[in-house]
Structure 1
């Protein structure tokens, strides 16, 4: 399937409508192609700018969807590109519903066992025909080589078509990059979608999502864990955007939006 991609700061971002992303993911899932999809936000951009290894993990992804509204606004402000938001918590239920319809197997990797148990119960109610291939709650510490191989074999033996991954950024992106070519499925890093589906974390109201304040809602719900991340990271992101705008205005010839887009097939 043909995909369009552009670059925002140091990360590649795929462009297109919601249905195009979903169809592309299921094309990979049906074939059990070893691949992965990153759901990118401000944290992803800044982490990629600061860390070369993480930047490589993002660059090797088969798709990178624009999750946060700030990324979509940045694309419009810098490059005059309009793009729909493809957020992890919105994407996951769509993938579950389509997997149920297409009779494809889904594996859940990440979060706590309590969250996974709650998700299993919710799936029985909301997606009764969904085939859950398995669930793994890995320890928060670094995995041993034996654990890595054991989890890899468990996922492959399950026959999973999709592996939904909720380890948090940057851990989930690094894990997916390390498993490309080893796990026979498409892996999708959905971030906080697991705890949100389980009801452990609350989703910001729609109006806050639309005006780029979802980060503020999450920070107020968990200030001790998220204050530094959001205040420092968001400020640094704005600084990087201003630098890029300055560079484009002074040192680059005008480039039309279409010339910023590259195309490739997955």
Structure 2
């Protein structure tokens, strides 16, 4: 892997298309959707690959106040830019030719599509039984060659030690290559890290990707996507659940963004 971009020599020529950038101390792989899916497929064939985290304004706002969570986002595997505001900032900061944007639903489906002819075995963990039923039906229709070895909705209570051990054994016994974890932020990132360490299997935390792919959460209209306003559409769709995330999380993210731009300015 190429070395991380550094800021020691401010007088040097602009560094174009570095492999890894950072935001507020969190290393972030600077990959667009297709290269990100390729990297996920490469990681899942490695020994002890760790986890993949899809970071956005909300998760970085949480990490700014939680050193343990920041450590998870910086751990083995990789973090990718999920939200467009973060991706747009990173593109300007590192003068990238392409937006380093890997939204969870798109990365989920692109990886399944590209992994189908390779025989990649997928384990779906999270959401509800209803969502999983619709999700697996849609995936089988869109990607008939894809291999889904299990689709499991875990109990809503915190898993006991024996339950966690049994889950890890099921994943190992089914020889899953990738475990997709949809448990909500930040829970899914902590759990993906633990599960990857326990099983040696790549675990990818994908947020609401299951619901989007299942069709139970509508996607934003193309115009709003072009204007980078998917967040506004989601907020309007689920105001009671998401208002705190966007009102408080985004404000905290903006504070960290200005701090990052001051401490580690655009080259």
Please, what TM-score do these two structures have when normalized by structure 2? Answer: 0.87
1:43 to 44, 50, 58: 58
Does the CA-based 8 Å contact 1:36-1:186 persist in structure 2? yes
CA shift, 1:177, in A, is 1.3
The 3 A distance-change label for structure 1 pair 79 and 130 is closer
Is it true that 1:95 corresponds to 2:111 in the alignment? yes
Q: Secondary structure at the match of 1:50?
A: coil
CA shift, 1:44, in A, is 1.3
Unaligned regions of 5+ residues in structure 2, if any? 4-18
The whole-number CA distance in structure 2 between the counterparts of 1:164 and 1:216 is 26
Please, what TM-score do these two structures have when normalized by structure 1? Answer: 0.87
Does the CA-based 8 Å contact 2:21-2:94 persist in structure 1? no
CA shift, 1:205, in A, is 1.9
Is it true that 1:104 corresponds to 2:120 in the alignment? yes
Aligned to 2:249: 233
Does the CA-based 8 Å contact 1:219-1:226 persist in structure 2? yes
Aligned to 1:120: 136
User: Which residues in structure 2 correspond to 1:138-217 (within 5 Å)?
Assistant: 138-217=154-233
The 3 A distance-change label for structure 1 pair 2 and 102 is farther
Aligned to 1:20: 35
CA shift, 1:77, in A, is 4.7
Q: Secondary structure at the match of 1:38?
A: strand
CA shift, 1:185, in A, is 1.9
CA shift, 1:184, in A, is 3.0
CA shift, 1:211, in A, is 2.2
Unaligned regions of 5+ residues in structure 1, if any? 250-254, 257-266
The whole-number CA distance in structure 1 between the counterparts of 2:260 and 2:143 is 45
Q: Which moved more, 1:31-40 or 1:58-67?
A: 31-40
After superposition, what is the alpha-carbon deviation per residue over 1:180-218, rounded to whole angstroms, capped at 9, x for unaligned? 321232111111110111111111123322322111110
Q: Which moved more, 1:56-65 or 1:204-213?
A: 204-213
Does the CA-based 8 Å contact 2:63-2:69 persist in structure 1? yes
Q: Which moved more, 1:118-127 or 1:86-95?
A: 118-127
Q: Supply the RMSD in Å over aligned alpha carbons.
A: 2.0
Does the CA-based 8 Å contact 1:36-1:61 persist in structure 2? yes
1:55 to 70, 82, 104: 70
Does the CA-based 8 Å contact 1:204-1:214 persist in structure 2? yes
